[in-house]
Amino acid sequence: MLLMKLGYRNLWRNRRRTVLTMTAISVATTMVILMLGIYDGMFWDMIESATELYHGHVKITAEKYQDEHKIYMTLPEDGLRGKILADSRVKGVAGRVRGFALLSFGEGETSHTQPAELFGINPDEERTVTRLESHVREGSFISGTDSKDILLGIGLAKRLEAEVGGEIVAMGQGSDGSIAADIFHVSGIVDTGDPIRDVSLAVVGRKTLQDMLVLDGQIHEWAVSLKRPIAAEVWAREFRPEVPGVEVTSWYGFLPQMKQILDYWYAARYIFALIFYFAVVLVAVNTMYMMFFERLREFGIMGALGLRIRKLSFMIIIEGFLISSIAGIAGGIAGSLISLYMYGHPVDLSMFFSEITFGGTVMQPRLRCYLAVNNICVPVLMIIGLGMIVALFPAWRLKRLHPVDVLREV
């Protein structure tokens, strides 16, 4: 305890130097926490864009449906929904029907025909899984599962030259091989931000599409939304044994480009964090050595008076621990507060660039910080640990010096 008191008082013998050192370490700690939070915030935005706009976090389908997309590869509409929602990690679930058809708009020479993917949903269920409704740019979302409404992707609407309120004729093939046809009314136009998807997307009521494709009581997939999207692979792995005979695929599987981005993201954030930690080490080494050489005569006198050099070395380590602890905790608090503010108030960058579409995802023009416990605790503990490690070297040098040699040289 005595060494702790001495070490603390020694810090304030040169108050200006200590404050500058602590400030530099605190700023570095704050920057590390902010950098990690911004990285996670950007990646979180990309996950939300890729999954919560259209796909969902996990898909449960018949075996091989993800590869072959055969119309008869279906699951019963009843039964599995309750089992999925019983899991406390699940936020929502939606059953979907998918089919392909030719859509026609207009008459005579002004008519246009385009192939499209019919996406049959229950609007109430879909709102618990995706934010598709929030991206309707014109008109309104479909009104019900058995309505004759159709919501067109913005690219598909342009190719058909369709307008809200117009009439669309759809023609395809039913699951029994019969000709499937129906007439829909354009309720709205949606812009998902993915041009490839928007030129083929046509959203209709699930019951209406089941009747059209002769799929009574059958769906093609359950889309699951989780409270923690990053844990989708873990949830899928744990859920598979409970539902044998079906495929449970997380977004890691049906969006492999996002998995690659995630790997790159982790590698980049580790490299940048190491750069900041290296800067902290340089600042700490400089300060500890200045303190060491400035007090060299003092150490010689204390050693000549009989104080053990080992205790003096230990006192230097304590000083390094105190500097890094106080600065690290202060930086942790500052970084947490700024991250928390930037989570609720993202920095708008729309004046510099617009939305960026990449690999089917949309990057928003903003900087949002995602506050995670690991992003705060790990940098603070790393700074404290590095401060102690840096202090070991001057302590080792002191242990090798003899008091008489020190007093003779200084």
Predicted local distance difference test score (pLDDT) of residue 362: 65
Predicted local distance difference test score (pLDDT) of residue 399: 75
Nearest Cα neighbor of 54 from 147, 135, 111 is: 135
Predicted local distance difference test score (pLDDT) of residue 407: 65
115 close to 200: Cβ distance less than 8 angstroms: yes
Kindly state the greatest CA–CA separation across the chain.
108
**How many Å from the N-terminal Cα to the C-terminal Cα in the chain?**
30
Predicted local distance difference test score (pLDDT) of residue 359: 56
**Nearest-10 crossing angle of helices 256-294, 373-400:** 30
Compute the distance between CA of residue 366 and CA of residue 169 in angstroms, rounded to an integer: 41
Predicted local distance difference test score (pLDDT) of residue 230: 79
Sequential pLDDT tens for the chain (410 residues): 777 777 777 777 778 878 887 888 888 889 888 888 888 888 777 777 778 778 889 999 998 888 888 888 999 887 788 889 999 999 999 999 999 999 998 877 778 899 999 999 999 999 999 888 888 999 999 988 999 999 999 999 999 999 899 999 999 988 888 888 899 999 999 988 778 888 999 999 999 999 999 998 899 999 999 988 878 889 999 998 888 888 999 988 888 777 777 778 778 878 887 887 787 777 777 777 777 777 777 777 777 777 777 777 788 788 888 888 898 899 999 999 998 898 888 888 777 766 666 655 666 777 888 878 888 888 888 888 888 888 787 778 777 777 666 666 65
Compute the distance between CA of residue 165 and CA of residue 138 in angstroms, rounded to an integer: 11
Compute the distance between CA of residue 149 and CA of residue 142 in angstroms, rounded to an integer: 5
Predicted local distance difference test score (pLDDT) of residue 44: 79
Phi-psi sector, 119: left (phi>0), alpha (psi -120 to 50), beta:
beta
How is residue 109 written in tokens?
């020479």
Q: Is the dihedral of CA 66, 40, 226, 202 positive or negative?
A: negative
Sequence letter at residue 297:
R
353 Cα distance to chain centroid: 21
Predicted local distance difference test score (pLDDT) of residue 408: 65
Compute the distance between CA of residue 71 and CA of residue 73 in angstroms, rounded to an integer: 6
Phi-psi sector, 245: left (phi>0), alpha (psi -120 to 50), beta:
left
Predicted local distance difference test score (pLDDT) of residue 95: 93
How is residue 337 written in tokens?
């507060």
Predicted local distance difference test score (pLDDT) of residue 204: 94
Q: φ and ψ at 220, to 5 degrees?
A: -100, -25
Compute the distance between CA of residue 39 and CA of residue 272 in angstroms, rounded to an integer: 10
Pairing of strands 90-105, 221-226: antiparallel
